[in-house]
Amino acid sequence: MSHPVALIYSDAYQGYRFSPDHPFNPIRLRWTYEMIEELGLLAPSELRGPEPASDEALLRVHTPSYLEEVRRLSSGGAVRESSLLYGLGTEDDPGFPGMHEAAALAVGGTLGAARAVASGDLVHAFNIGGGLHHAFAAQAAGFCIYNDIALAILALRDAGLKVAYIDIDVHHGDGVQEIFYRDPDVLTISFHESGRYLFPGTGGVEELGAGPGLGTSLNVPLEPFTDDASWLELFEAIVPPALRIFRPDALVTLHGCDGHVLDPLADMRLTTRFYWRTAARLHELAHEVAGGRWLGLGGGGYELLRVVPRAWSLVWAEMRGTPLPEETRVPTAFNRRHQPPGEAPLPDLVVDPQDLVPALDRQGEISGRNRATLARLRQISPLL
Ligand SMILES: [Zn+2]
């Protein structure tokens, strides 16, 4: 499977930084890039830098007054009462100098990749700095300022392509869902920890789309402490059949790795095997149903050093057609450079060992509840 692919990355992504102690830390992108390079997974021709998205592009998704407020805070304006209406100046999304430029660059990386996939210049692309699925038309949320995914989907739609968006980040892909909720040509599928326990609280099975788009939103809220086996069981029961019925011309996929057992913000018990397996399945499905057109994005992931670089190296290796064997070791130099003194040793295998996460006594009950969610979805979704 040899065809043009690109990894979108530049050190300029380091500018997307809310504050020194904010959990959304772009250093994870640098470390991912380093690991990919040191694993020998990056030919010079495969690396592309992002170009900032223009105002014209941003205004296809966002309102002029929202853009104005982002720019005002970006150039040093103070937070005021009305900033909060736009979700800005909050704990999750405080303003910071250069915010507009940093966000426009992350978004532009995804948009450029989407245009290249739409034109056939690239078959697959992976923007590790993209995946800002919580941003709404006039509101920042969940560390997301502009919605790169929505811009990318519109670029693919411009080329006449039907798009399926598959989100395996541990949080509900609420911004993307809302923007395309009434659109019959965009299918959104989000797997996430149930909104009863986790931000943003939405993403129940009954959210199926509206108007002409009824049936083209699918939500799979999962129980806390879900493991690889149960999540993969639902993924397999839902994604391939839904895609075969919907028949998209392109896949946009979000590989947020905050469902990993070591991630500090959520409660799931996944290992990097899950991101390895889902990348392989999405790759196969892209070729089976979508003419190979596949745009992958990063997303969440707050275990910056022990999880994100490994999870996304696995996704990228799969995408370029050189999937990593199970026994692949993290490059020694990487661990030597980054081992924090006095802490547990960094993982030495890219694919976590199967027994990393011992089964809980309650694992059967958790899987059972997830199966009940699947049964409910089968009753109400026209795609299953
Ligand atoms: Zn997330």
Residue among 335, 313, 250 at smallest CA distance from 9: 313
> Separation of 257 CA from ligand 1 center, angstroms?
7
Residue 86 lies in a domain: no
Residue 1 CA to ligand 1 center (angstroms) comes to 31
**Spatial contact of 64 and 56, defined as CB atoms under 8 Å apart:** no
Supply the pLDDT for residue 176.
98
DSSP 3-state assignment of 188?
strand
Provide the 3-class DSSP secondary structure of residue 220.
strand
Q: Which residues surround ligand 1, an ion (CB under 5 A)?
A: 169, 171, 256, 258, 300
Beta-carbon count within 10 A of 20 CB: 6
Calculate the alpha carbon distances from 207 to 154, 181, 377, 381 in Å.
Answer: 22, 9, 10, 10
Residue 102 has pLDDT above 50, yes or no: yes
Q: Which residues contact 90 (CB under 8 A, 6 or more apart)?
A: 84, 140
In the annotation, is 338 catalytic? Answer: no
How far does residue 174's CA lie from ligand 1's centre (Å)? 11
Please determine, for residue 2, whether its predicted confidence score (pLDDT) is greater than 90.
no
What is the domain count for the chain? 1
Q: Which pLDDT belongs to residue 3? A: 83
Tokens of 199: 């931000």
Buried/exposed code over 254-263 (b: 16+ C-beta within 10 A; e: otherwise) = bbbbbbbbbb
Q: Could you give the 3-state DSSP secondary structure of residue 296?
A: strand
Q: Give the domain CATH number at 215.
A: 3.40.800.20
The rounded mean pLDDT for the chain is 97
199 domain residue, yes or no: yes
143 is a domain residue: yes
Q: Is the dihedral of CA 209, 214, 216, 221 positive or negative?
A: positive
> Does 63 fall in a domain?
no
Q: Record the tokens describing residue 340, joined without a space.
A: 């924090």
pLDDT of residue 1: 47
Q: Is residue 308 part of a domain?
A: yes
Note whether residue 44 is domain-resident. Answer: yes
Ligand 1 centroid – CA 299 distance (Å): 6
Q: What is the rounded average pLDDT of the residues 191-215?
A: 98
Asked whether 132 and 144 are in contact (CB, 8 A), the reply is yes
Percent of the chain at pLDDT exceeding 70: 99
DSSP 232-279: HHHHHHHHHHHHHHH--SEEEEE---TTBTT-SS---BB-HHHHHHHH
pLDDT tens digits, one per residue of 116-167: 999 999 999 999 999 999 999 999 999 999 999 999 999 999 999 999 999 9
Provide the domain limits for residue 376.
Answer: 5-54+97-380
Q: What is the pLDDT of residue 359?
A: 86
Mean pLDDT calculated for residue range 335-363: 95
Has residue 287 been placed in a domain?
Answer: yes
In a domain, 32, yes or no: yes
- What is the longest distance spanned by two Cα atoms in the chain? 57
Active-site choice (134, 171, 172, 260): 134
Cβ neighbours for 186, distance < 8 A, ≥ 6 positions apart: 153, 157, 162, 163, 164, 165, 180, 213, 216
CA distances from 70 to 26, 135, 142 (A): 19, 12, 15
Q: What pLDDT does residue 232 have?
A: 98
Report the candidate in 182, 249, 247 with the shortest Cα–Cα distance to residue 212. 182
Calculate how far, in angstroms, residue 258's C-alpha sits from the geometric centre of ligand 1.
Answer: 6
User: What separation in Å is there between the alpha carbon of 167 and the centre of ligand 1?
Assistant: 10
Question: Edge-to-edge strand order for the sheet containing 163-167?
Answer: 47-48, 5-8, 124-127, 294-297, 250-254, 163-167, 186-193, 217-222
Distance 3 CA to ligand 1 centre (A): 30
Query: Cα of 66 to ligand 1 centre, how many Å?
Result: 23
**C-alpha 90 to ligand 1 mean position (Å):** 18
Is the bond leading into 200 cis (omega within 30 degrees of zero)?
yes
Judge whether 291 and 156 are in contact, CB under 8 Å: no
